[in-house]
Amino acid sequence: MNVRLHSKLASRRFNHGAGLVLMATFALSLASCSGAKQLSANQLNNPETQYTPPSMNGASGGGIGNLLTLGGGNKAAPAGSASGVAVNAYLWRASLDTLSFMPLASADPFAGVIITDWYSPPATPNERFKATAYVLGSLLSANDVKVSVFRQTLEAGTWVDQPVDPATANGIEDRILARAAELKAAGQLNG
């Protein structure tokens, strides 16, 4: 009998201890949220006032990669970068200008991604191109812009993927960088 009584008391103490651990964990997780910036409904739906964590605006590359780096990334955004936008404004505008001859399918300035729709040059209607431009950071540098080009040809009524010369994407990147430099020299953007 004494052994049974001891085991019942031990199990009650264990259950009580598990409850305390659960409550402590809940209290800590709730306390960690207390420093979060509260936004109104208008601020959440307005791209000009949307909050981007400083760690995503840093010169260390920005983007979601910093979310996976625990503890680091508390550097302030460099001077001249737009508030709430994690990409360089000159590279963004230059990318849009350079790819403006192709129809635009999607543009996300917060992620720095521009996707064009298929474009067939008038001289070659059986060939079409599509481009995706990535503005990767907040600096005006060659490392912060990447372009991918896709090509298809019409064969027996079906569009077939074809290889693209890497010089094509490099040429577009060079034009984007040259245009960004022009925009910066002319001071045509706020920033």
What CATH number should be reported for the domain holding residue 144?
3.30.530
pLDDT at 187: 85
Q: At which residue do the structure tokens 């006032």 appear?
A: 49
- How far apart CA 119 and CA 172 sit, in angstroms, is 15
Q: Which of 125, 126, 143, 122 is nearest to 134 (CA)?
A: 143
pLDDT at 67: 39
Q: Which two tokens stand for residue 44?
A: 């959440």
In a domain, 147, yes or no: yes
Alpha carbon of 88 to those of 24, 54, 108, 142: distances in Å? Answer: 43, 15, 13, 12
Q: Residue 104 in contact with residue 133, Cβ under 8 Å?
A: no
Mean of the pLDDT values across residues 58-67?
A: 44
- pLDDT-derived band at 58 (thresholds 50, 70, 90) equals very low
In a domain, 81, yes or no: no
Mean of the pLDDT values across residues 115-131?
A: 96
In a domain, 39, yes or no: no
In a domain, 64, yes or no: no
In a domain, 125, yes or no: yes
pLDDT at 101: 95
Q: Which two tokens stand for residue 126?
A: 């059986």
Amino acid symbol at 152: Q
In a domain, 56, yes or no: no
- Using the predicted structure, report yes or no on whether residue 82 has a pLDDT greater than 70: no
- How far apart CA 159 and CA 127 sit, in angstroms, is 9
Q: Which of 177, 173, 128, 118 is nearest to 155 (CA)?
A: 128
Strands (E), the chain: 104-108, 113-116, 127-135, 145-155, 158-162
Number of domains in the chain: 1
- Using the predicted structure, report yes or no on whether residue 71 has a pLDDT greater than 80: no
Amino acid symbol at 81: S
In a domain, 79, yes or no: no
Domain that holds residue 124: 89-186
| The dihedral sign for the CA sequence 73, 76, 79, 83 | positive
Q: Which of 60, 96, 51 is nearest to 78 (CA)?
A: 60
What percent of the chain is predicted at pLDDT more than 90? 50
Q: Find all residues with CB under 8 Å of 89, minimum gap 6, and list them.
A: 81, 82, 189, 190, 191
In a domain, 76, yes or no: no
- How far apart CA 155 and CA 118 sit, in angstroms, is 16
- Using the predicted structure, report yes or no on whether residue 174 has a pLDDT greater than 50: yes
